[in-house]
Amino acid sequence: MTTLRYVYAVCRPFRSALQAQLTGVAGVPPKQLTHHGLVAVVSTVPEADFGEAPLRAHLEDLDWLTVTARAHQQVIDALTAVTTPLPLRLGTVFRDDSGVRTMMEAREEDFRRVLDRLEGRVEWGVKVFVEREPAQDAEPGPPEHGAQSGRDYLRRRRMQTRAHEDVWQRATEFAGRLHEKLSAFAEDSRLHAPQSAALSGASGQNVLNAAYLVPRADSEEFVELVDREKDDAPGIRVELTGPWAAYSFTGEFAEEPEVER
């Protein structure tokens, strides 16, 4: 079987060992490939699945993509626990070790620049959702015969709409204040598009989807700051995730895998 080299990330040499049972994409354990003082974390994958044409087809298969992205993320998470990785785009594949080394040499200056910036830092994700009350989700019943019942129906509709607008405004104002405070604490931040409830399965409407670059040493204080702020947000849900590898701050090198983190 012909195999290719799947590249997860580039990092500086690290001493701590990865978990003994760690496997990556296609169920193969990752290994380190060193070149000019940088390390590419790679594993072998079958050309039948990861050659140019089959990979393009697989990327249209949501089930295959989800399994592969989770395996990719599993390796990145393991690296994040022992070093500062620069994750590469999902599905980054080369013909052999020589191809990986050629890529590393061509982009060495960029890799070192980004790794210098990310060293000792992690990414935290914060999402804010409007929690809709049951009364808001239920449409008022159709009006019965008569002018009075028709007016009551329209009044209930107006009250329902106004209540929802009030909750939405309160949530967006809270999200703006929270992002401002967290951005002031973090070294950098990124605003992402609101998360689709249909894709994520999360309840409520997403009004803030942001990432924050925080020194590892300051992470506990960052978490405490988020916890304090969300206590003052009735009817609003705040979700904190991380620490992650700094996907949102790697520029053109990585795209976040489409899996729930």
CA distance linking residue 124 with residue 241, whole number of Å: 6
CA distance linking residue 187 with residue 77, whole number of Å: 21
How confident is residue 9, by pLDDT bands cut at 50, 70 and 90? very high
* 108 or 133, higher pLDDT: 108
Least Cα distance to 118 among 85, 151, 96 occurs for: 85
CA distance linking residue 128 with residue 210, whole number of Å: 9
Q: What's the token pair of residue 212?
A: 């924050």
Tens digit of each residue's pLDDT (9 = 90 or more) over 69-86: 999 999 999 999 999 999
The answer to whether residues 128 and 211 belong to one domain is yes
How confident is residue 259, by pLDDT bands cut at 50, 70 and 90? very low
Average pLDDT value for residue range 12-28: 90
Look at residues 70, 85, 119 and tell me which one is the last residue of a structural domain. 119
The residue range of the domain holding 80 is 3-119
Examine residue 90 and state whether it is found in any structural domain, yes or no: yes
Look at residues 119, 154, 187 and tell me which one is the last residue of a structural domain. 119
Average pLDDT value for residue range 250-261: 54
